[in-house]
Amino acid sequence: MKKFYKIECLTNLHAGSGDINYNIIDNEVEKDPVTGYPMIHSSGIKGALRDHFKGILSESKLAEVFGKPGNDENTLVSGGKYKFLDACIIARPLRAESAEFASLPVFSLAMVNQFIRLCTAFGKPVNGGNPIEAIEFGDNKFLVNCNGIKSIEGERTAKLSAEDAEKFKFLEDIIGKNFAVAKNINEFDLPVLARNCLVEGHENLWFEEVVPHGSIFFFAVFAPDDEQEFALKFNDIVQFGAHSSIGRGYCKVTEI
């Protein structure tokens, strides 16, 4: 039994990597080592969901799904029956110059094709399992499928052709009807926010990278084939990543 889920960030998210950029950023977010895109590691997904379902699932079912921890929280007496994949990003908002939109969800062809490839590989094909072929950007960094967008992140845009827009129709339920396709989304850095520490004796100011609210990830959960009913049902907001006490990482999770 396989389920794919969409994560929609309602607030900024920080799933930390532990890496440090000594020029500017003190705390960076986790990124895919191949694509450079933000991600949430599978262990972070599993840990966040285990915390979320405490008190919702019985203790026995919680242990069955996620595993039974030992005396030390970092050890397991037994592994869980459910398997969790990394959460991969499929779109992130970028600032738009428009009377109607403050930002637009933006994705690259590589993001979309990663989504198609993983869903298809694990038995839930989308778009018939066919990757999207290259589209013509010309001198533009963004192609948009809606009217009234003068620029994105200060860069000139062009209208996505009706033929090319049709190729992304299958994403409408996940991303929405209004979006932009980026030639190279990694050209645009994630936001970096200044943080203050109120604890005496700690450094007062540091800089932290975040995945902005409005970003969309997807991940998969595999349950045993003989499972009578899928145990994870999402009715409440789930918190992923660090800094829950300051409202980071609150997300809506829906099945794809």
pLDDT, average across residues 154-171: 94
**Mean of the per-residue pLDDT values of the chain:** 87
Indicate if the pLDDT at residue 54 is higher than 90. Answer: yes
pLDDT, average across residues 139-144: 95
30: alpha, beta or left, given left = phi > 0 and alpha = psi -120 to 50?
A: beta
Confidence of residue 204 (pLDDT cuts 50, 70, 90): low
Confidence of residue 21 (pLDDT cuts 50, 70, 90): very low
Indicate if the pLDDT at residue 97 is higher than 80. Answer: yes
The pTM assigned to this predicted structure is: 0.88
DSSP the chain: -EEEEEEEESS-B--B-----SSS-SBPBPB-TTT--BEE-HHHHHHHHHHHHBTTB-HHHHHHHHEEE-SSTT-EEEE-S-EEPPEEEEEEEEEEE-SS-SEEEEEEHHHHHHHHHHHHHTT--SGGGPPPPP---TT-SEEESSS---EETTEEEEEPPHHHHHHTGGGHHHH-S--EEES-GGGSPPPEEEEE--STTS-SEEEEE-BPTT-EEEEEEE--TT-SS------S-EE-SS-GGGTTTEEEEEE-
Direct distance between the N- and C-terminal alpha carbons of the chain, in angstroms, rounded to an integer: 14
Percent of the chain exceeding pLDDT 70 equals 87
Residue with more model confidence, 79 or 55: 55
Indicate if the pLDDT at residue 18 is higher than 70. Answer: no
Could you count the other beta carbons within 10 Å of the beta carbon of residue 100?
A: 10
pLDDT at 22 (0 to 100): 47
Buried b (16+ CB within 10 A) or exposed e, 220-252: bbbbeeeeeeebbebeeebbbbbbeeeebbbbe
pLDDT at 245 (0 to 100): 63
pLDDT at 192 (0 to 100): 84
Indicate if the pLDDT at residue 239 is higher than 50. Answer: yes
pLDDT at 42 (0 to 100): 94
Indicate if the pLDDT at residue 13 is higher than 60. Answer: yes
Indicate if the pLDDT at residue 171 is higher than 80. Answer: yes
